[in-house]
Chains A and B, each alone.
Chain A
Amino acid sequence: NAGVTQTPKFQVLKTGQSMTLQCAQDMNHEYMSWYRQDPGMGLRLIHYSVGAGITDQGEVPNGYNVSRSTTEDFPLRLLSAAPSQTSVYFCASSSTGTPDTQYFGPGTRLTVL
């Protein structure tokens, strides 16, 4: 049982490039979320999914795209990277619709030059 896995761990992009951050969980959780963590700002919700085929926007969705074709995977796409997207990105999953324990991946540290 690997929990929540994220790849890559580190990534450097140039402005305007696109990329996909991968997230997978093996706990059969329905709920999955993407957060970004910036110094002094805690974690902010980018997008979330309540099940396969269902996604919705969080607090800071601009510049990001998501899809959920399977229960296990929830990739985050950066369409055209900008320096403002330099951050640490965390994927999380939880099993129920009530605010239950979220299980976090180890994070992806992204730098956009």
Chain B
Amino acid sequence: AQSVTQLGSHVSVSEGALVLLRCNYSSSVPPYLFWYVQYPNQGLQLLLKYTSAATLVKGINGFEAEFKKSETSFHLTKPSAHMSDAAEYFCAVGSSASKIIFGSGTRLSIRP
């Protein structure tokens, strides 16, 4: 069975500060891992995905995530937060197109 846990339902950082959103997964098979972003009143859009190639994955808008098998983690980072990064972020793990499990989400707030 697969599962994903996002640590922290709400994270607040200052503009220009490091963003770190945590995600841990459980999977009995090599996982596919995703980060999606949801802006208010919109659907989800893909930030980045890990599909067993490079362990450091670069996504859109300056975000990146590192796959650490030993820690079963896929944390999302961005060196310098921007006001436009305020949104909800979802980590997801999947073994097939029809079996993608989403985490409960982390709401990111940016302080001026």
| Chain A interface (Cβ < 8 Å from any Cβ of B) | 4, 31, 33, 35, 40-45, 48, 50, 56, 58, 90, 92, 94, 96-102, 104-107
Contact = CB atoms under 8 A, between A and B. Distances in A.
A35 B45 CA distance: 14
B43 A99 contact: no
Given A94-B97, A102-B46, A42 B102 contact: yes
A44 B95 CA distance: 16
B32 A98 contact: yes
Contact of A45 (B43, B100, B103, B105): B100
B43 A90 contact: yes
Contact of B104 (A31, A41, A102): A41
Interface of B is mostly: strand
12 contacts: A4-B43, A33-B98, A42-B104, A43-B44, A50-B97, A99-B97, A101-B34, A101-B46, A104-B45, A105-B43, A107-B42, A107-B43
Contacts, number: 65
A40 B9 CA distance: 8
Interface of B: 9, 32, 34, 41-46, 49, 51, 90, 94-100, 102-105
B102 A100 contact: no
Contacts of A42: 90, 102-105
